[in-house]
Amino acid sequence: MSEANEPKKSALAQASEDAMVVDTMGGRVHVRWDDTAQATPHGQIVFFAEFLATAGVFDRWVQGCPLHYSSPNASRPRDVLGTLMLGILAGSKRYAHIAGVRGDAVAAKALGLRGMVSEDSVRRALAAMLPEASEPWMRNALMASVREALDRPWVLDMDATIKPLYGHQEGAEIGYNPHKPGRPSHVLHTFWVGNLRLVLDAVLSSGKQHTSGHAKAAMARLLDELGDKAPALVRGDCGYGNEDIIDVCEQRDLRYLLRLRKTANVKRLIERLFRREDWTRATEASQGWQAIEDELRLSGWSKARRVVVLRRRIKNDIAITANAAKKRSRHEANEQLVLALPHDEVQDNAQVWEYTVLATNATYDIAAIGQLYRDRCDCENGFDELKNQWGWGGFTTQDMHRSQVTARAVALVYNWWSWYVRAANPQARREALTSRPLLLAAVGRAASSSNQTTLYLTPMHAEAGLIKSMIANVHAAIQHVKAAAEQLPKLDRWRTLLVYICQRIVAQTGLPTPPPTLAAPG
């Protein structure tokens, strides 16, 4: 009787299921559909699954999940989180894109899942988590993915990025949005490990809460959680050079390097220092910048602080373009070349100078301050990668709670994948645009016999030899951890793995020579 209730298929649909003859430009091909075969386009996911299983980080993430269903027919938290992780890893930017990995039985088995769940199940599962429970769960997981690698002196970079919205979402407000003015948005206040380009935390707020004051509480909480792993330097753009952020650093006796906005008092400082003769020389190493230091007390500051002023000459053709742009309409002036220039210039014998003013209590030599701040620009590359190659530009729901959880989930998978890629290639970082085709994509076909599963991989990348050597590097890291764990059963495997990877990075690239320090005053 059940067969009688099935909808009848047309003759064409039935014929296409049985067999198809396709005449291609290379000749005739006979095609048959096989829905039962275990195959995957992400064949190398098994190596990444072993990487996570060796350290147990994915299992700990699942065990701490606050998702609890009362129905016995509901999806397991492990299946939900595994599906979300594979979707993020495969490049999904919307929940609907998760349907592209729904039938990947090979990846499901490698991750220990009963099966992939639907995108609706993922959305409903995130909604079922209480915000007060999911907040510490995701923050702890994100911190644990990086914290054990912070034994060496490191730099904390702070910045915010805008996430434009196109619907009726909670917190979608019109605020600072340089690329899409007038478009409602969310803001992601992000804390980075400098140079390693890893995320310590990402806090989602409404579009109008883009200033550093809305990141102060998250920053203070993060620094307290780090404890003895505190950064050697806190670095931020001009949005963070204010009393609130400086006060957080000074209360914890942390060194900071923060850019100041060109307010009226800052402009007067520049004019006063312009004629002084003790500027450092502009060299090729300093990229043409000169430096000088002084003290400054702004109207909102409780005391005077050390500032370093940097300047360099702007070429005449660029200066002419900037002057011409001022005469155009506001819309025409928003060109990339003009935006890259400062709004305030001081002319000396027809030479235009560009200025940057930094507030700092770091006891570094003045000649090293400029390069130390310019290194902060590397976190912009991280934003570009996370928004365009991962899922920070998407995974949007009407409530901010789920958007916050997925923003941290994307950052967590991004951190895990970054460590995995550095284990495979310690010489340099590789963004997802190049690392996924190398270390994830491969046609895999699983065959089971006598309780043994064999996965046949067919790499589609031209650098098949490079792929095998990179996987060998990962295997060496895993074997190092397993060998150490045999002797020390209570060994922290994740910490041991990160220490091994960091040592390989340092051995391959070498640490930069730190700038000289000045004698502490008094």
pLDDT of residue 212: 86
Q: What counts of helices (H) and strands (E) characterise the chain?
A: 19, 14
- For helices 432-439 and 400-424, the axis angle rounded to 10 degrees is 60
Higher pLDDT, 321 or 439: 439
Question: Side by side, which strands form the sheet with 452-458?
Answer: 39-40, 443-449, 452-458
pLDDT in tens, 252-300: 999 999 999 989 999 999 999 988 888 988 888 788 899 999 999 998 8
Spell out the alpha helix ranges (H) of 156-275.
Answer: 216-226, 243-251, 264-273
- d(CA 277, CA 117) in angstroms, rounded, equals 68
Question: Would you kindly state where each structural domain of the chain is located, as residue ranges?
Answer: 256-360
Neighbours of 95 (CB within 10 A): 22
Q: What is the pTM of this model?
A: 0.88
Largest CA distance in the chain: 97
Closest CA to 88 of 471, 403, 406: 406
Higher pLDDT, 5 or 350: 5
Closest CA to 471 of 41, 49, 38: 49
pLDDT of residue 2: 53
pLDDT in tens, 355-413: 999 999 998 888 889 999 999 888 889 999 999 999 898 898 889 999 999 999 999 99
Strand ranges (E), 256-350: 256-259, 290-296, 305-314, 346-348
Confidence tier at 333 by pLDDT (50, 70, 90): very low
- d(CA 173, CA 130) in angstroms, rounded, equals 24
Closest CA to 373 of 466, 259, 263, 465: 259
pLDDT in tens, 158-203: 999 999 998 889 999 998 888 888 899 999 999 999 888 999 999 9
92, with CB counted inside 10 A (0-12, 13-18, 19+), is buried
pLDDT in tens, 434-486: 999 999 999 999 988 888 889 999 988 999 999 999 999 999 999 999 999 88
Residue 21 has pLDDT above 90, yes or no: no
What lies within 8 Å, CB to CB, of 478 at 6+ separation is 50, 51, 54, 497
- Record the tokens describing residue 349, joined without a space: 């014998």
Residue 493 has pLDDT above 70, yes or no: yes
pLDDT of residue 468: 93
**Phi, psi (rounded to 5 degrees) for 484:** -70, -35
Count of residues making up the chain: 522
pLDDT of residue 300: 83
Closest CA to 419 of 375, 477, 463, 490: 477
pLDDT of residue 36: 79
